[in-house]
């Protein structure tokens, strides 16, 4: 159950606490292509084994020993973002160090993507969001066996930045700045290589295609049986003048629209020709409508990042990737959309409002600050706009003007959405209406900062965990689970809209919400998310160390905690089989033992979260393949390996 929060959280020293230094007279030489570091003390030579993934600035021999100290907390945080250059040539059988894979665990593969490298061999470091995509695969073929594979996504940017060193190993020299980073060892001023498609944010297997997605470019297709990169996939295939002309006609009207059209026409060739941005950016978050058996994706225009107008296009594909539906909407507001939702009749967008930062833009173009500094949040409105965009034509949708947003009474920046569904309002005295429920994680405009996500400081090139733990001590500013309730009448007019914490008895910071995927777009009872136990003194809120199971009907919660100096990534639900209850299945989550530099894949019984016997099995990833914190994963019920376990 929920842990009682500590009474006081001392602030984490920023940017760097004092740590134990090497002995006097010691010098440290580091070779990133070897697994040892040679330390010379006076005239004696001592060789100490250090994994090759440790960057030169971090030497584990000098980690502070105390478990409850600000220095320990600082280094624990750094250990979640260590580069891992090693890849597997063949799948590796995983050893169960706790429990065993149950006999009824379904066949399939758990894919997890995220950044794999943050520092090159020439002094440059990257924001985690700019790290090259590193795809991990956990294969389950039945019979209690599992294997692990890991490969870098062979993007065009990765091929440019990776080279073979004199020692025969892979070397890296970052040449692209990336939207969130500023290079040190690479070209900085005048460097126009910004949009580096790193394919590091999400992964999906749909039809016969396995794809890794990023927020600003085409997905990269991966061979599911070999983990080799095939190449980019042009899912939406729209960049011609015909499409642009149609957009202008749809959005035309009035002096303001004419001015925005002109600005867009001037920006497009610059963004595409100079910064190599695609005409349309396919967002990394997709949805799967199980009832219709469709993959839903969303794109926006490149110039939308800089203009007070947003062009959104939704696409629906069947399993053969035949485009079944495409719908476009132009919203006269400057919005930043990362995640979205759907119901049987609507696409749903939360209006995260942004604005152009002119001073930041000048510094960004000159290479003196990250490109993302050209944007800032726009907290000018006290409410949150919610756009209900008609997915299909219906009498209700036809009467409602979708351009007019529904306004939630509080100001929320939406991070991720778990689910949304609509139901007929049978209790409506006027004989009709619809109730829409949305489950999401949200934070405050006062806390969210483009330039500080994950606590990365581009000036010092350090990760500062105090930002993610809110130095002001107000956890309600951080990402937390919320539910939004909307009531529409028969004509589609909004009767009421409310936003509240998902549970009245639980409001601890949480993110990466997920559900049983079979219920996407339909009413669900249970929601799972990563959260913090509240037992750590110096890292009270993030990184997450627990999985929470929330009953969305009665608001009760149960949780499982990884333990001391252990952290977790995104949880994902795997159904035990067909015909079972909503929580009849397992939760997969990666456990990071930062003090030992080990990763485990933990299998939890979804029904038993909150009990002492929730852990079904722990599968240990070999130490030399310890990997950094992942972003988003996908459970593929197809087992595609060509070789037997």
- Supply angle C-alpha 633, 237, 364, rounded to 5: 70
Q: How far is CA 62 from CA 20, 477, 623, 639, in A?
A: 6, 35, 20, 44
Separation of alpha carbons 290 and 275, rounded Å: 38
Question: Do residues 84 and 53 make contact, with C-beta atoms less than 8 angstroms apart?
Answer: yes
Three-state DSSP class for residue 358: helix
Give the count of beta carbons closer than 10 Å to the beta carbon of residue 87: 15
DSSP H helical segments within 24-125, as ranges? 70-79
Question: Do residues 155 and 132 make contact, with C-beta atoms less than 8 angstroms apart?
Answer: yes
DSSP H helical segments within 70-155, as ranges? 70-79
Strand ranges across the sheet with 557-561: 510-514, 526-531, 546-551, 557-561
Residue 483, H or E segment:
strand 480-488
Question: Do residues 148 and 140 make contact, with C-beta atoms less than 8 angstroms apart?
Answer: no
Contacts of residue 465, defined as CB under 8 A and 6 or more positions apart, other chains included, come to: 12, 73, 74, 77, 455, 539, 542
Question: Do residues 123 and 185 make contact, with C-beta atoms less than 8 angstroms apart?
Answer: yes
- Residue 482, phi-psi category: left (phi > 0), alpha (psi -120 to 50), beta (remainder): beta
Contacts of residue 234, defined as CB under 8 A and 6 or more positions apart, other chains included, come to: 218
Phi, psi of 304 (to 5 degrees): -60, -25
DSSP-derived pairing of the beta strands 375-377 and 615-621: unpaired
Q: Please check if 632 is assigned to a binding site.
A: yes
Separation of alpha carbons 104 and 87, rounded Å: 30
Q: Please check if 338 is assigned to a binding site.
A: yes
What is the separation of C-alpha 329 from the centre of its chain, rounded to a whole number of angstroms? 25
- Supply angle C-alpha 55, 60, 62, rounded to 5: 120
Separation of alpha carbons 620 and 432, rounded Å: 54
Binding residues, as ranges, are 338, 416, 632
Annotated binding site for Fe cation: 338, 416, 632
């Amino acid at each position: 159950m929920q842990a009682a929060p500590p009474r006081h959280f001392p602030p984490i020293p920023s940017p760097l606490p004092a740590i134990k230094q090497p002995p006097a007279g010691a010098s440290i030489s580091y070779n990133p292509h070897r697994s040892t570091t040679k330390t010379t003390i006076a005239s004696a030579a001592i060789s100490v084994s250090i994994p090759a993934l440790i960057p030169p600035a971090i030497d584990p021999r000098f980690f502070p020993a105390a478990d409850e100290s600000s220095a320990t907390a600082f280094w624990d945080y750094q250990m979640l973002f260590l580069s891992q250059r090693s890849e597997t040539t063949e799948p590796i059988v995983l050893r169960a160090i706790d429990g065993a894979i149950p006999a009824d665990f379904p066949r399939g593969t758990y894919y997890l993507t995220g950044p794999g490298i943050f520092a090159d061999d020439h002094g440059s470091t990257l924001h985690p969001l700019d790290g090259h995509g590193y795809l991990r695969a956990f294969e389950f073929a039945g019979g209690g066996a599992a294997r692990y594979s890991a490969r870098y996504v062979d993007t065009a940017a990765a091929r440019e930045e990776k080279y073979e060193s004199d020692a025969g190993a892979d070397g890296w020299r970052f040449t692209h700045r990336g939207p969130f980073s500023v290079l040190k060892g690479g070209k900085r001023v005048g460097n126009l290589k910004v949009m580096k498609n790193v394919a590091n944010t999400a992964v999906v297997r749909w039809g016969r295609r396995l794809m890794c997605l990023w927020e600003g470019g085409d997905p990269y297709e991966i061979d599911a049986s070999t983990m080799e990169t095939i190449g980019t996939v042009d899912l939406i295939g729209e960049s011609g003048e015909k499409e642009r002309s149609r957009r202008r006609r749809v959005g035309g009207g009035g002096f303001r629209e004419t001015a925005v059209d002109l600005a867009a026409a001037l920006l497009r060739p610059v963004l595409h020709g100079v910064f190599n941005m695609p005409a349309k950016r396919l967002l990394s978050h997709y949805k799967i409508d199980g009832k219709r058996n469709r993959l839903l994706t969303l794109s926006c225009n490149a110039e939308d990042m800089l203009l007070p107008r947003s062009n959104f296009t939704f696409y629906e594909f069947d399993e053969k990737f035949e485009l079944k539906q495409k719908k476009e909407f132009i919203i006269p507001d400057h919005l930043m959309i990362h995640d979205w939702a759907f119901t049987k009749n609507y696409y749903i967008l939360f209006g995260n409002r942004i604005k152009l930062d002119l001073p930041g833009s000048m510094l960004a173009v000159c290479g003196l600050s990250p490109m993302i500094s050209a944007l800032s949040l726009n907290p000018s409105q006290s409410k949150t706009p919610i756009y209900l965009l008609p997915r299909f034509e219906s009498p209700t949708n036809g009467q409602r003007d979708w351009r007019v947003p529904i306004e939630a009474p509080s100001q929320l920046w939406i991070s991720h959405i778990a689910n949304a569904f609509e139901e007929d309002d049978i209790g409506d005295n006027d004989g009709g209406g619809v109730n829409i429920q949305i489950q999401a994680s949200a934070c405050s405009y006062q806390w969210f900062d483009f330039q500080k996500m994950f606590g990365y400081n581009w000036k010092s090139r350090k990760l500062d965990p105090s930002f993610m733990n809110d130095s002001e001590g107000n956890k309600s500013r951080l990402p937390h689970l919320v539910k939004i309730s909307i009531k529409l009448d028969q004509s589609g007019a909004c009767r009421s809209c409310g936003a509240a914490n998902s549970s009245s008895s639980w409001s601890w910071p949480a993110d990466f919400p997920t559900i049983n995927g079979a219920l996407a777009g339909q009413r669900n009872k249970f929601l799972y998310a990563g959260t913090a136990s509240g037992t750590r003194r110096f890292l009270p809120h993030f990184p997450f160390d627990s999985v929470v199971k929330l009953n969305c009907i009665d608001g009760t919660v149960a949780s499982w905690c990884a333990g001391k100096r252990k952290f977790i990534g995104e949880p994902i639900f795997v159904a035990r089989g067909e015909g079972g209850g909503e929580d009849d299945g397992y939760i997969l989550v990666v456990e990071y033992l930062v003090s030992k530099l080990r990763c485990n894949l933990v299998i939890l019984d979804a029904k038993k979260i909150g009990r002492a016997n929730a852990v079904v099995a722990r599968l240990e990833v070999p130490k030399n393949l310890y990997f950094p914190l992942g972003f988003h994963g996908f459970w593929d019920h197809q087992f595609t390996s060509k070789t037997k376990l």
